[in-house]
Amino acid sequence: MNDDVAVSALAALAHADRLTAFRLLVKAGPEGVASGDIAEALSIPPTRMSFHLATLERAGLVRAWRDGRRVRYAASYEDMRQLLAFLTEDCCSGNPAICGDLLGLASACAPQRRA
């Protein structure tokens, strides 16, 4: 990941509604959530939610796909892990005692792949 990609992702998360939506999608797992359900869960008008979700998608933090007449969104776990790794790669001059096991935490949160 380079600085420009990281800045884009962080800028997308730098809004309360987008951050809340992203956290909801991270919890929801790879199956994702329909955009209307996200808007309803967060009490945000659907058109405004679509705008926020599109911003997160452009930043690479979420992916979207059609499911019948609905659009579903899911967190892009790989891109999220890359952002976390980018932010922590120089953490405390590489001293894991200071930084903790952030990368281990990120991998523990990864969705399990189905065979």
What is the reported pTM?
A: 0.81
**Buried/exposed 40-50: b ≥16 CB within 10 Å, e otherwise:** eeeebeeeebb
Distance between CA 23 and CA 56 in Å, rounded?
A: 12
Q: What domains, with CATH codes, occur in the chain?
A: 3-76 (1.10.10.10), 79-108 (no CATH)
Mean of the pLDDT values across residues 12-28? 97
Mean pLDDT for all residues in the chain? 87
Q: What is the mean pLDDT of residues 40-45?
A: 97
**Residue 51: band (very low, low, confident or very high) from pLDDT cuts 50, 70, 90:** very high
- pLDDT confidence band for 100 (50 / 70 / 90): low
Tokens of 35: 């955009």
